[in-house]
Chains A and B, each alone.
Chain A
Amino acid sequence: MNACAPGKMQYNDNYKGKHNMSEEVKLMKGNEAIAHAAIRYGADGYFGYPITPQSEVMETLMALKPWEDTGMVVLQAESEVAAINMVYGGASCGKAVMTSSSSPGVSLKQEGISYCAGAELPCLVVNVMRGGPGLGTIQPSQADYFQATKGGGHGDYHLIVLAPASVQEMADFVGLGFDLAFKYRNPAMILADGVIGQMMEKVVLPPYRPRRTEEEIRKTMPWATQGRTPDRERNVITSLELDPAIMEQRNIKLQATYRRIEENEIRYEKLNCEGADYLMVAFGSMARICQKTIELAAAEGIKLGLLRPITLWPFPYAAINETAKGKKGVLVAELNAGQMIEDVKLAVNCSLPVEHFGRLGGIVPSPDEVLAAIKEKLM
């Protein structure tokens, strides 16, 4: 397993907060874990707007009142549009800032996300997906895969997209998402779904980490707008450049960053793939369902393996191609009408049959439905 470590959160004995300094084991919802993990990471700000099924993120933060302790700012904005632009403003100042929403709200944020990508701003956006299109439903879905991984907003850009499959990963990916965002100066997204946001599981919360001081920001992020000091030119955070020759160079620089991310940050998990006859590829809550499908199939003498992409962008093309070798077929299971399957087909390049199983409109399938689809489509 090319697993993600639980963030890179380290104990820091300079921290003078009132909280327990060490790890804590709790039972909570995925959305609540996001909130706790953000405070513990040392996030500087959260800006949100209520929308089901992710409102517990802001509700938990407001109840925990981190501004009294770590100094983290939590603000309910007038819209998702305002919230992502608050993220843009905070990230411009070198702060660790985030927002969360669900599908229709994330659509509203796309302009701001594109601006963050264009201005190379590290930030974290959480999408707890619900069914669409339009106002859709409040039930779980994975139908924003294209939006998250192929751009979403305008222009040539990519988000680093992390797909949690447990409440533990909801907590862990806050730290991982921020760390990757700052490492590459690029926005990161946690692409969860309503199941992962709402379900309760045991979670190990990481130890607290102090927020960065102004001095640390000025030192480690010399581009940040913290006020111009005599030793430097003014800093300007912008995605605008009217000279196409310079704008092309800026785009080439962004593309170089994306290539570095593709080289270094692909993450996935493999389950039971050795000796399996068929391979399932699934992410998020659908991957959890497929885990159970492996057991059901084994009882019938059918050998199934599962490859779970953890980073949806960068996508584990090579790992899927390698893992699929020698298999009789691949089933891509998603809570949508067939989105990730396009990347899986690119990965295996027509070397074996690739079929899709999906439920739409907020329906979450049972493990035996997935097994039935394998029998029907691949056997």
Chain B
Amino acid sequence: MDINEIIKPENLVYSKPTLLNDNTMHYCPGCSHGVVHKLIAEIVEEMGMTQDTIAVSPVGCAVFAYNYVDVDWIEAAHGRAPAVATAAKRLNPNKLVFTYQGDGDLAAIGTAETIHACNRGENITIIFINNGIYGMTGGQMAPTTLEGMVTATCPYGRTPELNGYPLHISELVAKLAGACYVTRQSVHNVAAIRKAKKAIRQGFENSMAKKGTSLIEIVSTCNTGWKMSPDKANAWMEEHMFAEYPMGDLKNV
């Protein structure tokens, strides 16, 4: 059989979303970011929102998200994405505005902005990549780092005496009246990716329907920071991260 027989349009079962461009990603092999970027590109395209999307990228590994997804991007200062998105949405109420943030950005330096944007019920979606570590700066402890987990700044393992406890941002946000949808997902296998896509789409639809703030936490791997192979990182995440951060909806109103 000739290759051209196979690639006929009627045989096409999958293609790269057109909003995901061909720039070489800087993410490590095994990282969850690329999958989530792809889901966002698919959803924005499927919703027909390309011309009306304003995305806000963080400081951290995803700072360069703007290099890969072909929508307009604002790169925010560390932790300030929800404040940046607040203004972008209030001044452009008919646009789709979302932030894309890691756990250091969102749950440490940006905690105030996160809590208050959600509490005001800003009509934005916050996509929260939680891999329990600072990836970009070389694997330091995050607020979400598990007890006992070894990082560059807790080289003997995180201890509550020294560092406190893993911070559960989604549980906090779910208590806020302004948040309409808070869910925790992952992208480590096909079933999880499908569920995560559905969740992000619901967040975006909530934003356009002005239902309040949606926070989609994606529990993710950082196999480089965790010093594991990608498959070991996935297994470790299922065993340890999911125990601390259980999957599923925390709020959906």
A238 contacts B90, C-beta separation under 8 Å: no
Bound Cα distance from A45 to B90, whole angstroms: 9
Name the residue of chain B whose CB is nearest to the CB of A111: B77
Q: Which of A221-248 contact B (CB under 8 A)?
A: 225-230, 233-240
**Candidates B69, B72, B77; contact of A88 at CB < 8 Å:** B77
B90 contacts A73, C-beta separation under 8 Å: yes
With contacts A86-B83, A93-B92 taken as known, whether A227 is within 8 angstroms of B77 at the C-beta atoms is: no
Cβ of A103 within 8 Å of any chain B Cβ, yes or no, is no
Q: Which of B91-118 contact A (CB under 8 A)?
A: 91-92, 95, 112-113, 115-116
Bound Cα distance from A238 to B73, whole angstroms: 8
A339 to chain B, nearest CB (A): 27
In the complex, what residues of A have CB within 8 A of residue B183's CB? Answer: none
Query: Which of the listed residues B66, B92, B116 has the most CB atoms from chain A within 10 Å of its own CB?
Result: B92
Cβ of B176 within 8 Å of any chain A Cβ, yes or no, is no
Residue total for B at the interface (Cβ-Cβ under 8 A): 32
- Cross-chain pair count, CB within 8 angstroms: 128
Cβ of A296 within 8 Å of any chain B Cβ, yes or no, is no
In the complex, what residues of B have CB within 8 A of residue A204's CB? Answer: none
Bound Cα distance from A336 to B153, whole angstroms: 43
B71 contacts A234, C-beta separation under 8 Å: yes
A85 contacts B73, C-beta separation under 8 Å: no
Cβ of A297 within 8 Å of any chain B Cβ, yes or no, is no
B73 contacts A236, C-beta separation under 8 Å: yes
A45 to chain B, nearest CB (A): 5
A95 contacts B91, C-beta separation under 8 Å: yes
Bound Cα distance from A240 to B115, whole angstroms: 26
B83 contacts A237, C-beta separation under 8 Å: no
Q: Which of A91-132 contact B (CB under 8 A)?
A: 92-93, 95, 97, 111-112, 115, 119
B73 contacts A82, C-beta separation under 8 Å: no
In the complex, what residues of A have CB within 8 A of residue B91's CB? Answer: 44-45, 73, 89-90, 93, 95, 97
In the complex, what residues of B have CB within 8 A of residue A233's CB? Answer: 70
Cβ of A307 within 8 Å of any chain B Cβ, yes or no, is no
Cβ of B86 within 8 Å of any chain A Cβ, yes or no, is yes
Bound Cα distance from A369 to B84, whole angstroms: 47
A81 contacts B75, C-beta separation under 8 Å: no
A50 to chain B, nearest CB (A): 15
Name the residue of chain B whose CB is nearest to the CB of A87: B87
Q: Which of A2-37 contact B (CB under 8 A)?
A: none
Cβ of A352 within 8 Å of any chain B Cβ, yes or no, is no
A236 contacts B75, C-beta separation under 8 Å: yes
Name the residue of chain A whose CB is nearest to the CB of B64: A240
**Candidates A73, A77, A89; contact of B76 at CB < 8 Å:** A89
B88 contacts A90, C-beta separation under 8 Å: yes
Mark contacts of A50-90 with chain B using CB atoms, 8 A cut-off: 1 yes-contact digit, 0 otherwise: 00000000000000000000000101011101110111111
Q: Which of B58-90 contact A (CB under 8 A)?
A: 63, 66, 69-77, 80, 83-88, 90
Mark contacts of B31-64 with chain A using CB atoms, 8 A cut-off: 1 yes-contact digit, 0 otherwise: 0000000000000000000111110100000010
A215 to chain B, nearest CB (A): 13
Ordered by A's residue number, 17 sampled pairs between the chains whose C-beta atoms are within 8 Å are: A44-B91, A75-B86, A77-B116, A82-B83, A82-B113, A85-B76, A85-B80, A86-B86, A88-B80, A89-B74, A89-B86, A93-B91, A214-B92, A225-B74, A228-B51, A234-B72, A236-B72
Shortest 7 CB-CB contacts between residues of A and residues of B: A89-B84, A238-B75, A89-B87, A225-B72, A85-B80, A86-B87, A78-B116
Q: A82-B86, A85-B87, A115-B77 are in contact. List 15 more A-B contacts (CB 8 A).
A: A44-B91, A47-B87, A82-B83, A83-B83, A85-B76, A92-B74, A112-B77, A112-B80, A225-B74, A226-B95, A227-B54, A228-B71, A234-B66, A234-B70, A234-B73
